[in-house]
Amino acid sequence: MATRTVRVVAALIPGPHDGQRFLVQQRLPGGSRALLWEFPGGKVEAGETDEAALARECREELDVELSVGRRLWENRHTYPDLTVELVLYGARLVSGEPKPLGAHALAFKTPAEMQSLPFCEADIPLLDDLVAGRLGALD
């Protein structure tokens, strides 16, 4: 059975202090992939660039303004109900303190700490590459 495909953009946002911790969010209870962890971001709408979608999603769901950097990683993952084209961008906070407006919880974690969290399946190869140091510089 064919599933619908959605393009999802995510941000790798370093923490304000050491640059070794990155922002992750826990999905809301009750929805698809409830309470699993992921990198902040969301779906790209028709006519929107990846960068514009990422800035919009983080504004709406975290109440922050971002400077979106380069594309770091891309992968395609098929769930039973949809296929996700996941694209990760480096990003930096320009203004605002992240708030969980569209998430159950937020945390700044090191890649090693993230490995103990239950992540969405689409994010696991990304997490593996982050832990292995294969993503390169954010900008």
Q: Which domains are delineated in the chain?
A: 4-131 (3.90.79.10)
Residue 2 — pLDDT band, cuts 50, 70, 90?
A: low
Q: Is residue 109 predicted with pLDDT exceeding 80?
A: yes
Q: What pLDDT score does 1 carry? A: 54
Rg (CA), the chain: 14
Sign of the torsion formed by the C-alpha atoms of 41, 19, 129 and 135: positive
Contacts 24+ apart (CB under 8 A), 51-56: 51/9, 51/89, 53/9, 54/9, 54/10, 54/11, 54/89, 54/91
pLDDT at 40: 98
Task: Say what percent of the chain tops pLDDT 70.
Answer: 99
